[in-house]
Structure formats: structure tokens, C-alpha cells
Structure 1
């Protein structure tokens, strides 16, 4: 089942920059991806690996979820990255360009009990999303929308219509197998209006949160992906009314003129649990 911890904002941080890693420990991100892949130049790969893994061993990030993204197994750095990341024992290891469940199994054979996250960023990976989601040890899917746009020969559009099939297929796979799933990045990190629209779309589709490329994107993302005060008020009312109804032997309740059934109460309890987890994380990170 999906873990009940917040993943509203999942911020990529370049693994080659010590100051960035130090700053990460102070940022209001729910999760941090310490990146050894795209954000690191080839000449800096080995040094970045050492820096990231030694930093993670020191546990400086508090209650934030910490993920190391390694280089792919088809690169000269991939195997050593995976070994070093496993030794550092982050909360999870993110595998790039996952194409099949065998990619997850290979990573898990090295990582052991450490959770595996999968970058869903290739056409083959999207086509195999259901099989990948069923792989033992996988806990979260991460949409790699920039690579997908490139490989699909598509375009970045405000409505993301060229990506809707890929996004939806991965959402279905993740939910079918009880995984978390986070949306892809929004590249224009100074465009608050565009970021908010992208976050709203992702939230309404069902994503748990969004990957980010810059700390300036944190506030909007955390706001959009958190349950609103109105939603929480309604959720509490639904739970209370339904419990009162069931105590009287009734199968449904009525709140604000609307029928409330068990399915509505399940969603209401999920929202309340999500809000409680966010409050706990923010208190611990303060």
C-alpha cells in the first residue's frame, strides 16, 4: 500500500554541489532527490557520488525523505553508484530510465531492503508500467516528463496533452499496485502562474506531488498538493455523519444535501491522514 508520508514537493538537488546539499537541509521540501545523474557533469560523477553518500550517512536532513538518484546501469558509473548508495542507506534509491521489472529486480539485488523508486521516462517504460509497478521493492514512480517529450518527438504545451496518455497509464499502474507517484517537473521555475496550473492539473489527475527543479517552486507546490481547509472541514463532517449513521444501522449519511457512502468516507479519511502527516513533518522540520 502507498506509504502515508507527504510527497507534495520532491526537490532535485545537484549531488556535485556541497552548498546545495547544505541548503537542502533547511528547505521546506517533503522529499529530496540528491542527483548523481542529469545534474552532474561526467567529470564530476565520482566526486559527486562520494559527496552525496558521505552526506547521507551523516543524516543531516531531519524528517525529510531522502532519495539518491543513481546513474543508469548502462553507464560506467551506474554499478558503483548503486553500491555506494546502498551503503549510505537513504530512504530510497531512484533508478533512471526504467524499462522493465527486471530493472527493478537488478537494483534490488544490490539495494537489499532499501526502497526503490522508478523514473518513468521512456516509451518502453510507459508501455510496461503495469509490470514495473508490480515489481517487489518498488514504492514510488516518478514521471520524467522532459525525457518523455524528447523521446516521443512531442512538444511541451501548457495543457500537457502530448503527455496525458503516459501520465494516465502510470497513474493507473501505481494505484493498481498501491504505489506513490509524483508528477514531472515544471521547467520555468520563475513562472508562478504556470507552475500553479501544472500543480493543479497533477493534483486533479491524482498525483501525490510534484518533482521540482528549484526551491522557488516549493511554496506553491506545497500549497496546491495539501488538502485545503474547506476540504478537511468537509472530510471531518463526512466521517462524523457516516459514523453516526452506521451506529444507527444505516448504510449512508447526508452532508450538505449530498449522499455520503463508504467510498466518500474512505477518501475523507485519506485526506485527514494526509493533513496529519503534513503537520507532523512540518513540526519535525521546524
Structure 2
């Protein structure tokens, strides 16, 4: 891997960049437009948004204003909990596409399993239809645990191509990662920096000095070396650039082991079995 545009290949043959740009909590309008434009200028080609973020229109405007050819981009959005169910998901997809101003999507995810509703299998079948109809190049899930994935695999035709989850050195989800590898599901990390909390971790500060990198760069490099796609978020151009500059060094196995030892099974956000916000 040599640059920000390097890719992993999903189980259907579609190439997905190892490092993308996340826009969670980035305000729609000028803030998200400028942030996405800055990311695209730096060289990012993967942009990750969601219906619930409320900024799909701004992401779409930044894409339209950029000179980057559409076929070089990898755009992800997600169906929100209030739109679970077959018909509701298809309608939500149309709404997202209209806001984004795109003819097709690269990756569509179910944002949360929402087990209290019991509709995620039905929702997945809507994603299968969108995929078969050629409206989206890859489909996946977000925040799915092993038993949620097992239910999809047992009851549906297509195994998810991606599972985007909370993943960082204090919560490395080893068992889930092993399950995903076994079923050729690409794991993707959201909030890889633990919303900045890990930037002050002594072990990582020490490593950053050793490699002459920032703590954020150490974490993003660890993600890549563990085979996990990652989508760090920032609205500051220098940070956006810094997060992309992780391809000119490699962590030693000893340092990878030290980072793996930081795991505390510590979630920063809700357990997907309990999160039922609609």
C-alpha cells in the first residue's frame, strides 16, 4: 500500500479504498462542502455519509463541484432506523440518491440492526434488490454483531460485503473481526480515534515519537495493518491531510502487539443489541 487511493477488494470484486473520509456530525452546507472538497483535493476518494447525518446534500454538492471523475469515487450512505422494512428502505434510498445527486451508489449500509423492530432481514432484502438492479455497487451493514450477521446469512441470498463498526485500540472486536474474515466480510472502523480520546494514550504518544508521526496516524496505520478499512473525520484541512499521510511507514509486529494489548472491550457508544433509537 503506497497511497490514500489504495484499495481492498470486496467479495464481489468491487474495490474499496482503505482510508475514507467520514462526515459524522459535520454540518450540512458550507462546513461539509468545504471539508469534502478539501478531502478530495488531498486525494481521498472514499466519502462516508448517512441519512441521519443530515448532510447528504452538502456531500453531493462537493462531489458535483469537484473535478474528480465519478468512477474514481467511492460514496457510502446508510439507511436510518426509522426506515427499516422493505418498501421504506427502497423509498429512503431514493431520497438519499436525490440529495446526493448521484445516478448510482458505491456502498449502501443498514445503519443499525435495531433488533427491537425485528426488520433487519427484510431491510437487507431491499438492499439485495437495489444491488441486483445495479443501483448500488456493494451492500453491507453497520454495527452488526455476529448473531445479526448469522441471521442475514441464514435467511438471505447475499452475504454483506462490509460491516462498519466501532473499532479502535480499546475495542478491537477480535471475535467479530475473525467471523467477518471467515465470511469474507470487510470490517470497517468508525470513530477509529475514539472521538479523540485515544490521542492522549501514553503508549501511542511514545510510538508517535518513535515513528515521527502523530498518534492519529499511528492508529490509522494500525487499522490498515489489521486489515480494517477506516474513515477518520475532521473538518480541519491540516488534520484531513495528516490522516491521509499514513502510507510511508509500517508498524513493527512488536508495536502492533502493544496496540492490540490496549484492548479493554470498551465501547464508546451503544451496544447494537440495545440501541433502538428511531
- The normalised TM-score by structure 1 is 0.54
Flag the 1:124–1:158 CA change in 2: closer, same or farther, 3 A. closer
Gaps of 5+ in 2: 1-8, 205-214, 252-278
Matched, 1:182 2:193: no
Flag the 1:12–1:92 CA change in 2: closer, same or farther, 3 A. same
Report what 1:264 is aligned to. Answer: none
Matched residues in 2 for 1:131 and 1:90: separation?
23
Report what 1:67 is aligned to. Answer: 76
CA contact (8 A) 1:66 1:91 kept: yes
Paired residue secondary structure (2:162): strand
Report what 1:32 is aligned to. Answer: 47
Describe the superposition over 1:195-234 as per-residue Cα deviations: whole angstroms up to 9, x where unpaired.
3443243223222x2122324554454333x37599xxxx
1:107 pairs with one of 81, 102, 127: 127
Q: Give 4+ residue runs of structure 1 displaced > 6 Å after superposition.
A: none
Matched, 1:141 2:160: no
Deviation at 1:57, TM superposition (A): 8.4
Flag the 1:16–1:77 CA change in 2: closer, same or farther, 3 A. farther
Larger relative contact order (C-alpha < 8 A, sep ≥ 6)? 2
Report what 1:97 is aligned to. Answer: 112
1:211 pairs with one of 227, 231, 236: 231
Report what 1:152 is aligned to. Answer: none
CA contact (8 A) 1:108 1:116 kept: no
2:245 pairs with one of 203, 210, 223: 223
Report what 1:269 is aligned to. Answer: none
Deviation at 1:17, TM superposition (A): 0.5
Deviation at 1:79, TM superposition (A): 5.0
Report what 1:167 is aligned to. Answer: 177
Matched residues in 2 for 1:228 and 1:203: separation?
12
Flag the 1:25–1:139 CA change in 2: closer, same or farther, 3 A. farther
Matched, 1:195 2:206: no
Describe the superposition over 1:106-131 as per-residue Cα deviations: whole angstroms up to 9, x where unpaired.
22324631124423313355552882
Kindly tell me the number of residue pairs found equivalent between the two proteins. 203
Paired residue secondary structure (2:245): helix
- The normalised TM-score by structure 2 is 0.55
Flag the 1:84–1:182 CA change in 2: closer, same or farther, 3 A. same
CA contact (8 A) 1:129 1:170 kept: no
From the two aligned structures, give the one with the greater helix fraction: 1
Gaps of 5+ in 1: 41-47, 146-156, 231-286
1:118 pairs with one of 140, 163, 177: 140
Matched residues in 2 for 1:202 and 1:187: separation?
13
Q: Cα RMSD over matched residues?
A: 4.1
CA contact (8 A) 2:20 2:48 kept: no
CA contact (8 A) 1:14 1:20 kept: no
